[in-house]
Each structure stands twice: as C-alpha cells, then as structure tokens.
Amino acid sequence: MKTIHRENSDVRRHYTVQKNSAESFHAKILYAGELKKSIGWKEQLHSHPFCEIVYVKSGSGTLHTDSGNFPVHRGDLLIYNPGILHSEASDENLEFSLLFCGIDRLHLKDKPINCILDVNACPVLHTDRLQPFFECYFENLIAEMQSKSYYYDEVSGALVRIILNLVLRLLAEQDKSYFKTNESYQRARDYIDRNYSQIECVEDVCKNMYISRYYLTHLFKEYSGLSPIQYIISKRMEKAKQLLETTDLPIHDIALQSGYNEISSFLKTFKKIENMTPSEYRDKLKKQ
C-alpha cells in the first residue's frame, strides 16, 4: 500500500480503501422512471426477463406476487428477480409514489443471471438508515436519464452500481449468510487468524492447507482484496496496536507477541502503515 502524502493530524485525516466486498458484477441499466403521486392506483400482474428494483418514495400499498401479498411503505425496496409475477397497488384514498429502474446482465456469484434474491426470499426490503441514500441516488439516476446531458450514460451506470451495492449491503447486514464465501478461503483465513504470530512465511499456510501459493493468493485477492502476506501483516498490526493501547509492555515484547522476532522489521512495518513509530503511537494515545 502506498503511503499517504501527509501524515494524519488533529485537523487532517486520511481514510484509505481496501476491498472488502464479496461481489464484482457488471450490469446494464435498461430504464429508470417514476410513478408520480397517484390515488387508487393499481398495476396489472406482470413479470420481466430482467431484474427490477422499485423504491417507495411516498405513501403505502400492497405488493401482489404469485407467492403472496406484502404490505409496503415509504422507504421500502421491492426487488423483482426475472420471471416473478408482481403488481403494486396503493392503499385506498392514499397517494403512492414509486421510483424504479430495470437492470440487465447482472451476474452475482452463486446466483442465476439477473437474480439478486434467493428463491422464495421476501421481495420487500426495509432500507432503514439507508433510506435517504436510496432516495437520493434514485432521484439523481432519473434526472440523469431525463437530461441526456454529456456523459449521462456513464453517470447513470455509476449510479445504478451504487444502488446495487447498497442493496447488497442491506442483504449482507440482514443475513450474514447471504454471501457464500469460498470454503478454502474461509479455512485459510481462520488458520491465519489463529496463528499469525507464529507464521514465518506464506508457505506455512500453503502447507497447512495443502494448496498452492498461487491459488491461496488468488483466493485472498478475490475475497479480501489483500494478498496473504498483507492479511498476515494486518493481523499483526491489529495485535500490536491493541497491546500498545492496553498495556505498558516494552516495544520489544510487543513485537514478539505480534509475530516479529526482529524489532527492526517490526518498527519499519509499523511506521510504514501507521506513519509513526510504536512509541509515537502510544504517546499519542496518552495525550487523548
């Protein structure tokens, strides 16, 4: 990881990105639109060969599908996999407003093409704290599609990807088993989590797991965005900072407990990642 151009301070903070998403996907937006406030509105039962996402901007109503009826309210998302029969209807004498988009060529791991939800999953998601984000991105998406301004196709595509990622975030937060992590990666990560302070090199992990270094590297890059050695270092630094924060142990002892037999290597690695020495890190904590 490249070092930032300036160190963190009380008035300047840097936040870096490390990949932690479980999905990489390509998707094409087909359309986006809005059903403006309508009273007593009801749609015909229908389905699509692609995915559709609907956001309830205002009002309340009922979603009818071939598997049942579901109440929907402001802030809800309605997710339609391909081939799912559905129709929406507003509550009697209440206004109903919907924002929606159609998406094709969506391919998530372990899911059929254009499918977001598992079979028989409830098609209604409550957005909760993410409600203002969904409303903002849907409205901006529709505005871009209407404007046909320069690069609107690229901006629209980016907004759709944000909406999809927020949907996946909701699903991951509500059901920890939604993303099926590769079993070999899970076992390798668990092994490192238990033994990072004793691991001398990546080959130690490979021998324990009976897999090649190439395959291990591929797994970690795909599921964590880090190489195996970067993940090992991240665990060691996590342990070192925890000891610096909670104990008065000498730096040499902290280096040993974090997996470094040579203190010079520990000091060099710590400063490269934290932009300060372990002693400076501890002193900074004491001043807070």
Q: 188-227 pLDDT, tens per residue?
A: 999 999 999 999 999 999 998 888 999 899 888 877 788 9
Q: 139-194 pLDDT, tens per residue?
A: 999 999 999 999 999 999 999 999 999 999 998 888 766 666 677 888 899 999 99
Task: Using alpha carbons, select from 167, 170, 114, 174 the residue that is nearest to residue 138.
Answer: 167
- Sheet containing strand 51-58, edge to edge, reads 28-39, 95-104, 51-58, 76-80, 124-126
Q: How many residues are given for the chain?
A: 288
Query: What is each CA distance from 254 to 37, 78, 109, 215, 279, in whole angstroms?
Result: 63, 51, 41, 32, 11
- The pLDDT of 15-30, averaged and rounded, is 69
Q: What is the per-residue pLDDT for 285?
A: 83
Task: Using alpha carbons, select from 271, 226, 229 the residue that is nearest to residue 255.
Answer: 271
Q: Is 39 helix (H, G, I), strand (E, B) or coil?
A: strand
Q: What is the per-residue pLDDT for 211?
A: 87
- The pLDDT of 247-274, averaged and rounded, is 93
Distance CA 130, CA 59 (A): 18
Q: How confident is the model at residue 1 (pLDDT cuts 50, 70, 90)?
A: very low
Q: How confident is the model at residue 85 (pLDDT cuts 50, 70, 90)?
A: very high
Is the pTM here over 0.85, yes or no? no
Distance CA 35, CA 106 (A): 24
Distance CA 134, CA 77 (A): 9
Q: 111-120 pLDDT, tens per residue?
A: 889 999 988 8
